[in-house]
Amino acid sequence: MNRKQKKYVNTLAPLCMIGYYTFYYSLYLSEVPFSKRTARKHLKQYEITDKNTAQDRLEWFLTTGNRREFYVLQSSLLFLSEAEAKELLSIGEDETLIAKLSAVKKYMHRLNEHSIGAFDLSSAILLTKHAQRTGLLTQKEAQSYEIRAVRLAQTMYTSWSEYLTACTAGAEFVQKSTDDQEKYLNFQKNTLIKLMASKHSPFRKIEFETSFS
């Protein structure tokens, strides 16, 4: 990859993170690599311990991901009236499921047919970088996953704004409770504004349709 393509990938990777570091790493990821300790800690959260588990998890994000569950829950809500949907959310006992349903209801008419796929793709890129950093993937293998993710992103979405909205929805979808969702949004609000409006944002300097051919 050339310098421009690397910067593009480094911009996508942190969008699945939360808070200050999302914007910080979108600007400086190529100059400030993750430590091996940080990389191992993140990989452990996804039960990635060796090359095989790394490749399996990356394939899952690229081909299935959290968007599959989003689709299933969205399909169930589409058959309910507004009143029925509200009743379902008010009487549910599974806190995590209620949080997921709340996120689906909130975003399902604001996203395109690929829903929260952007969150899956940015997660795949970030995990790829961690897997390379810890020696689970070679540079060539990591670059192959990164390019696959980027090409999927450019096929599934048409702009940075559309991609970031889908990524935000995905990050909200995977929170464990509605309280956690509220905390996430409060914490992320300024970051989202800076990503879209700051003159320093990579979104203002890099074309979404940057070629990777």
Instruction: Sort 69 into a burial class: Cβ within 10 Å, 0-12 / 13-18 / 19+.
Output: middle
State how far the Cα of 19 lies from the Cα of 16, in Å rounded to an integer: 10
- Half-sphere exposure for 139 (CA within 13 Å, toward CB): 2
Digit-by-digit pLDDT tens for the chain (213 residues) are 888 899 899 889 888 886 657 777 777 777 667 889 999 999 999 999 999 999 999 999 999 999 999 999 998 888 777 777 677 666 667 889 989 999 999 999 999 999 999 999 999 999 999 999 999 999 999 999 999 999 999 999 999 999 999 999 999 999 999 999 999 888 888 888 888 888 888 888 899 999 987
CA distance 190 to 68: 29
- First vs last Cα of the chain: how many Å apart? 10
For residue 210, what are its two tokens? 């940057």
Question: Is the full-model pTM beyond 0.75?
Answer: yes
Distance (Å, rounded) from C-alpha 144 to C-alpha 141?
Answer: 5
